[in-house]
Amino acid sequence: MTSSPIEQLVARSRRIGAIPALVVHGGGNTSTKMTGRDHLGRERKLLAIKGSGADLATIDASGFTFLFLDGLLTLRTRDKMDDDAMVAFVTHCQAEPLARRPSIETLLHAFLPATNVDHVHADAICALTNGPDARTVVRDALGPRVAFVEYVRPGFALARRVADLADHDAVILAHHGLVTWGEDDTFARTMELVGRASAYLDRRRRTTVPRAPAPSAVDEDFLLRLRGRLARRGRVILHASEDGSIAQRDDLERIAAAGPATADHLLTIGLAPLVVSDAGSIDDAVDRYEKRYTAYWERNRDRAPTGIAMHDPRPRVVLVAGAGTIALAETERRARVIADVAAHTHAVAAMALDAFGDAVSLSDRDLFDIDYWPLELAKLGRPQPKPELAGQVVIVTGAAGAIGSAVAQQVAAAGAHVVITDIDAPRLDAVAEALSHDGHSVMPLVGEISDERFVDRLVSDAIARYGGVDGCVSNAGIAVTGRLADLPTSEWQRSLDVNTSSHFFLTRRLLRALGTQGLGGSLVYVASKNAFDAGAGFGAYSVAKAAQVQIARLAAIEGGSVGVRANVINPDAIFAGSRLWSEELRRSRAAAHGVGVDDLEAFYASRNLLHRGVRAEDVAYAAVFLLSERSSRTTGCVITVDGGLSAAFPR
């Protein structure tokens, strides 16, 4: 059975999208010309082309937009057309007015008479054009049947130039990519040309490969210092990838100077990576980078659309000599995309350097015209308000429990990347799964929080994964019951280990890391109303919780000079979903209060001033507030979340 033209287009597109050396993260586009019917049932020639933003790797039929070809072809005889007029015209040609906006390269596909057109930003093709004398190199590598077009920003002019070359087999676009066309298998033609380009680069490859610098590591100290400097303009997540091959080269400055391999890479990775050799040179290197970006803006700003301010001048990619690549963004997801695209740009620069001894990119002016391209700026739309904890990394302990999971959920919803820990592996996994399912970035780590080696690893792993840390909700705790007269030493010690020492271990570890990072931070401790209002038969718990409050106060006193805040939340009993409130604890507390087990919850609600039961989410609201800038002038404070208990008022 033969498949429909659109099924064939989807299949071909996915084959291309599956090869990162051809296209990455939404790059490239494909089309086919076919017959279909318009809204009046008339038979029309249609162009089906990838919609803007669709990813060839995962595209389905809904990722394509259909346009009336006869309408588009009326533009073929025009001399010029600006972007706005072109986009407006193309929009009028859509068969479905509300379909997604078609690729900016729509006219290029429409003007070529062939049925199928594929356009990729293949690494090997870009490497051919990103060395000196690209026109000669392309002819040398691919022969006279493949045309070459000097760089021009995608739009009407490029579409016309390519259409004028339709008597060739394919077109290479400088600093951009490859266009192939045909009646049948364009994929094979694309692969054949990319293969020939690769073989040519291999033949030209110099025999002496750049010597590797001494291997170094992106260690914790390096990450904290780097993030500390980069996050001054707003918190960011660092994603480190150890792509040794590039970082081991001794010509990293030349790789960086080569700039983005293509215009669409620029939109993702920015102008150029920052090269850093060691932790000591981070500050100067970032300063120089930001000055360079500002100077580039000043040189070109009169060509920026009116009302547009300078973009964030920070690098988005850092090449660490001998170690690897670090990408930064407000979310880990975005940082990973940047890292992927950067790897291809760096590979293209390396190929060009190895084959031709030089790598060149777009001119300063052409870079700026993409960087501040009104069509791309329009895609970003109105600036959205940032989530309150955007770019932050927060550790939540005891995260499998009622309070911990509610805190993790709200902290993640506020934009933070959460590192959650608990000793209960199945429940922690369930919490992590729910958070990932909602699209949050979460790292679960199972372990015993009263073991200082585990606490050390918890913080190390958080920093290795996200590049730094901004705060914690130190929440893990256990209930230990028994009157002092009967309390075994082991029970007393168990309460002190989990309810006091674990908070000390985390505090000590975080104060050191936050000190190195130099961005301040917020430590939030979930203690208990028992810290101030001890309960009979609950001594080991009450004493340990009082000590926890004292740890928080000391952290506030000692952390203040480096901007680290420390505050406490004192909840009263929370029953729903609680692990702390085991059957045994319920029986024991019911006996202590002289009420039936079934009446315990009602008893706790009735004894407070508001007569309301306390919920886990009430604690989470307070935690998000204490982590956020809204509480930036608050430290050493205790917030009660207990419905109002005068005996437990902070003092």
- Residue whose pair of structure tokens reads 């805190």 in the numeric block: 407
Identify any residues that bridge with 178 across adjacent strands, giving them in sequence order.
120, 172
Give the dihedral sign, CA 627/325/194/174. Answer: positive
- Residue whose pair of structure tokens reads 């659109």 in the numeric block: 6
Q: Which of 199, 311, 325 is nearest to 266 (CA)?
A: 311
Residues 6+ apart with CB under 8 A from 391: 231, 234, 235, 236, 237, 330, 331, 415
Identify any residues that bridge with 571 across adjacent strands, giving them in sequence order.
641
Beta pairing class for 471-474 and 521-526: parallel
Cα–Cα distance for residue pair 481/146, rounded to 1 Å = 82
Cα–Cα distance for residue pair 248/271, rounded to 1 Å = 22
Cα–Cα distance for residue pair 74/233, rounded to 1 Å = 49
In this structure, what token pair is assigned to residue 363? 């001119």
**Choosing from 200, 289, 466, 541, which is the catalytic residue?**
541
Is residue 351 within 8 A of residue 345, CB to CB? The reply is no
In this structure, what token pair is assigned to residue 351? 């190929």
Q: Which of 499, 346, 474 is nearest to 421 (CA)?
A: 474
476 SS3 class: coil
Cα 465 to chain centroid distance, Å, stands at 12
CA Rg value for the chain? 30
Q: Which of 321, 335, 318, 331 is nearest to 239 (CA)?
A: 335
Residues 6+ apart with CB under 8 A from 464: 220, 223, 240
- Residue whose pair of structure tokens reads 């293209």 in the numeric block: 348
Cα–Cα distance for residue pair 612/475, rounded to 1 Å = 22
Could you give the strand order of the β-sheet that contains 317-320, starting from the edge strand earlier in sequence? Answer: 237-241, 324-329, 317-320, 274-276
Q: Which of 89, 328, 85, 100 is nearest to 223 (CA)?
A: 328
43 by Cβ neighbours in 10 Å (0-12 / 13-18 / 19+) ranks as exposed
Residue ranges in 467-613 assigned as alpha helix (H): 489-496, 502-517, 539-559, 583-593, 600-606
Which residue type, as a one-letter code, is found at position 530?
N
Cα 565 to chain centroid distance, Å, stands at 27
Beta pairing class for 274-276 and 317-320: parallel
Three-state SS string over 214-274 comes to CCCCCCHHHHHHHHHHHHHHCCCEEEEECCHHHHCCCCHHHHHHCCCCCHHHHHHHCCCCE
Q: Is 541 a catalytic residue?
A: yes
341 by Cβ neighbours in 10 Å (0-12 / 13-18 / 19+) ranks as buried
Catalytic residues: 541
